[in-house]
Amino acid sequence: MPVTPTYPGVYVEELPSGVRTIVGVATSITAFIGRALRGPTATGATDDEDEDSPVLINNYGEYERIFGGLWKESTMSFAVRDFYNNGGSQAVIVRLYKAKQGKNTKATLKAGKESENSINLKAANAGVWGDKLRARVDRDFPKSIKDENKHETEKLFNLYIKDGETGEVETFLNVSGKFGHSRQVDKVLKNQSALVRYQGTITADINIPTPNDDKLTPEQLKEDLWIDNRSNQVKEADKASDGEAITETEFTGSGKEGDKQGLYALENADLFNLLCIPPYKPGGDIDRTLIDKALTYCQKRRAMMIIDSPSSWKSKQNAIDGIDAGVGATSKNGAIFFPRLKMANPLKENQIEEFAACGAIAGVMARTDATRGVWKAPAGLDAVLKGVIGLSVPLTDPENGELNPKGINCLRVMPPAGKIVWGARTRMGDDMLASEWKYIPVRRLALYLEETLYRNTQWAVFEPNDEPLWAQLRLNIGAFMSNLFKQGAFQGSSPKDAYFVKCDKETTTQYDIDRG
């Protein structure tokens, strides 16, 4: 009883019902790892500790704004495009960067008249995009600041940064060169700018940069303020490089896991359900050892990896020989799709090229989850691959019949539906393995249940471990499972035929209780 009765009267007490609503987690957040034109990196190749990777995006427009859109050196950019073209929702982007020897990773430039006082700035992220940055400084303040002489005592100035690639202009008014000031310029840029950072560390007062223009007349304000004599640009020697082609080292090299870089930058992502690593090698493949490590990591994070078939699979027989030789571990958390997709490349005058299918497959899974549920196989006549002109290897029913029992998911052309996904097996889908995790929807539903119950039962960790708690868990989880049953997630004509929830003295023994 929460109150002690001390006087004659009526006491009202609210009792908790014990009901805690269980909300299902997302099922199709897809992680993409690879090169990009710009944006935060996750390889430790740059000198900033404040690189914020990975980045969660909700549409392809966000990818274009943050990571620069399509780029001929980035297979990831095309995979993300295919993901959203096919119904994708949320994506987690991890940008990898390999520095080029003898080249700058980030562009640098000065703000203020270089012949007098100026400050050094650098691009926020690695890449050639920073070469088009420009900077301006002025000291045009409100009259109140000038009357109190604050602009001199607090070393104030206005800083403007322009991205020559997109035309975006960032404005920072009343930043200060005074150490400890609330608008100290290096802190302001670190927290508010997406384009530049202050180069170095301010440990004492710095000189106020000399304005590019002391005062501008109304007529001058109508002119271009970013011409050479009114702004600073990146010098030739200070320009950056887009880096070299990435290798397995950028994903899982020494120290990457401990530093949460490369593949393990996903440790900084709260949740992802699907993993796509588009081919990064010149021949259009990824290393088998990387596939193995990625599958292991997916098992740890309750996610599935979508594996692209090797570029050497040019026929049905290549696929049969190749899967027997091994394409990564036969993991229940992976699935392989064959063949590759033929699509127009807008960066090459819409010439038809072959592309990895992982992004499009992830989009189909997201679309299926949204319309039917994670328990529905992401395959069939509804699983249409949008934007696809053709397939690199056309397959017939008998050929499909040879590949499917080996756990190879085929992409087919079936009029009038078009190009579709016609297989839903995991890497343990080979009939010879007789695995209970043969099918993708079965495995994904299990992962969904595990992640949902793990996240929604944390409240019980420090509760008294006895029958009242067990009854609460049975009640809440039972209600969640009943709702899934009504949506068609389980087989059976009644809930008792479909599932059961057990939490009692048999599942939690006295020995378990004694161990906490």
Looking at the chain, the domain(s) classified CATH 3.40.50.11780 span 30-98+244-444
Helix (H) or strand (E) holding 305: strand 304-308
Supply the pLDDT for residue 15.
83
Local structure of residue 314 (DSSP, 8 states):
-
Relative to beta strand 232-233, strand 196-198 is unpaired
Q: Which of 479, 452, 467 is nearest to 503 (CA)?
A: 467
CA dihedral 350, 65, 37, 304 (to 10 degrees): -90
Three-state DSSP class for residue 2? coil
Region class of 132: left (phi > 0), else alpha (psi between -120 and 50), else beta: alpha
Residue for token digits 């989009």?
Answer: 363
Looking at the chain, the domain(s) classified CATH 2.60.40.4290 span 108-238
pLDDT tens, residue by residue, 241-296: 999 999 999 999 998 999 899 999 999 999 999 999 999 986 788 999 999 999 99
Give the ranges where 56-177 is alpha helix by DSSP (H). Answer: 60-67, 75-85, 143-147, 150-153
CATH no. of 108-238: 2.60.40.4290
Q: Got the DSSP string for 209-233?
A: PPPS-S---HHHHTS-TTSGGGSEE
Supply the pLDDT for residue 49.
53
Give dist(CA 292, CA 493) in Å, integer: 40
Find the range with the poorest average confidence among 92-96, 142-146, 288-292, 420-424.
142-146
* pTM for the model: 0.92
Average pLDDT over residues 412-422: 93
Supply the pLDDT for residue 217.
66
Q: Are 445 and 424 in contact (CB under 8 A)?
A: no
Q: Which of 27, 86, 126, 3 is nearest to 411 (CA)?
A: 86
Architecture of domain 30-98+244-444: 3-Layer(aba) Sandwich (3.40)
Q: Which of 89, 27, 96 is nearest to 60 (CA)?
A: 89
Cβ count within 10 A of residue 405:
12
pLDDT tens, residue by residue, 462-497: 999 999 999 999 999 999 999 999 999 998 889 999
Cβ count within 10 A of residue 196:
26
- Tokens found for residue 123: 């691009």
